A and B are shown apart, each in its own frame.
Chain A
Amino acid sequence: MSQWFKIAWRNVARNRRRSMVAIWTVAIVSSSIIVAHGYINFTFWGLTRVIVQGGTGNMQLVDKRMVNDFETELLAFGLDSKTANETVAKLEATQPVRRAMQRLLFTGIVSKDDSISTVFRATGIESKKEKRLQQGNAAGAFVKGAMFKDTDKNPYQAVLAIDLAKKLSIDVGDEVVLLANTVEGGINAIDATVSGIYDTGIPITNQLDIKVPLALAQQLLLTDKVSNIVVQLRDIEATKSILPQIKALVKGTKMTVQPWYDIKPYFKAVEIIYYSIFTVMGVIIMTVALLSVANVMGTTVNERVPEIGTLRAFGIEKWQLRLNFVFEGLIIGFIGAVLGIILASCWHLPSVKQVL
């Protein structure tokens, strides 16, 4: 067997020019496939981070009824303060959990100087824990001002999304009035000082979003409830492996755990579409490569037909000749793939520098 491999290797070396054409064809095809897959891989890597770090968290704890039913009254399925605080304490005592944040979601009308008013979609947050907003990463970056501070002393602060601030002609330091329904069905209003203006990264939410301290949101809605608890893990990729542990933690309570990929179902849809496109592209590329290499190998074989006949006349078996040529194909394919991997890694190095 090794003798036939040696002969195949010598044949590849002897027909150097033709072998190089086949090897480079395989190399270019290999690097194209690796780079295309690398780009798709990056897209999902980035999308995961945009979703998880952009506010959704790795998972969210909500009332079980929230999954299938609709709230007919404001915060009917909310988590009361005692349950929420105890759960957050339990979660943060768990090693894989980086932080657990209570949030209160509500809508209302925001106005400035009693002259301009518009609708808003607000989130009451524990500002100290909302690190992404504080760090000012691409989505969620402050264009003016900063996140509210000392909310224990002064909860009457707000940060507005950029287009909403433009619509209301609001600048940092201005006063706004937030008007919302209370949980009892009444209407309440609170003045808040704008401490920052930020870009959510999404045009539609830039026209609606407001973030306020959780204490202000609860005071405005006259409640001690929160809508959900957002869990961020130390390892962003560990959602699936940690999920059973968190589920066990809330077993027997009225809460349920939703991982981020169930909260944002479009991720799975995008994943299916991308991989379908990649598979079709891959099959086309592989077919072209197969035809190219087969063409080169066909030419090589055709030129060596009398040589094959001579060897057959000497008593060399068909399977031995077949094995020899198969080894040649294997050598060309293997060397081409290795070259392709090296080519693709040249793309990888600048990428790593950019990430770092």
Chain B
Amino acid sequence: MPPPPGRSTEFPLLILPTMGMAIWVLLAMSLLGIIASYLPINKILKKKVVEQLSHT
């Protein structure tokens, strides 16, 4: 990478992922999946059974 402001030396672009972040992402995405599925099913379950059966 080019030198950052105020410096004269280049630096390598590296990625240092952490286990903590991986666990956080795992939990967050599981929660996101739960919320994303809860919202539409909750809406459908508010309908009556007859309306659900006649849905096209």
Contact = CB atoms under 8 A, between A and B. Distances in A.
Interface string B9-53: 111111111100110011011111111111111101101011111
Given A290-B35, A321-B41, A325-B38, A38 B29 contact: no
Given A34-B22, A348-B17, A312 B38 contact: no
A38 B17 CA distance: 4
Given A338-B26, A341-B26, A33 B36 contact: no
A280 interface: no
B44 A294 contact: no
Contacts of A26: 29, 32-33
Interface residues of B, number: 42
B2 interface: no
Contacts of A22: 33
Nearest to B35: A290
A185 interface: no
Interface of B: 6-18, 21-22, 25-26, 28-42, 44-45, 47, 49-55
B56 to A, nearest CB: 8
- Interface class of chain B by DSSP: helix
A329 B44 contact: no
A290 B36 CA distance: 6
Given A37-B18, A345-B17, A293 B32 contact: yes
A41 to B, nearest CB: 5
Contacts of A306: 52-55
B25 A202 contact: no
A351 B14 contact: yes
A18 to B, nearest CB: 12
Contact of A38 (B21, B39, B55): B21
A338 B25 CA distance: 9
Contacts of A331: 33
Given A313-B49, A337-B25, A341-B22, A139 B44 contact: no
Contact of A297 (B10, B22, B36, B47): B36
A52 to B, nearest CB: 16
A291 to B, nearest CB: 8
A322 interface: yes
A301 B40 contact: yes
A39 B21 CA distance: 12
Given A206-B8, A309-B55, A341-B22, A328 B37 contact: yes
Contacts of A355: 14
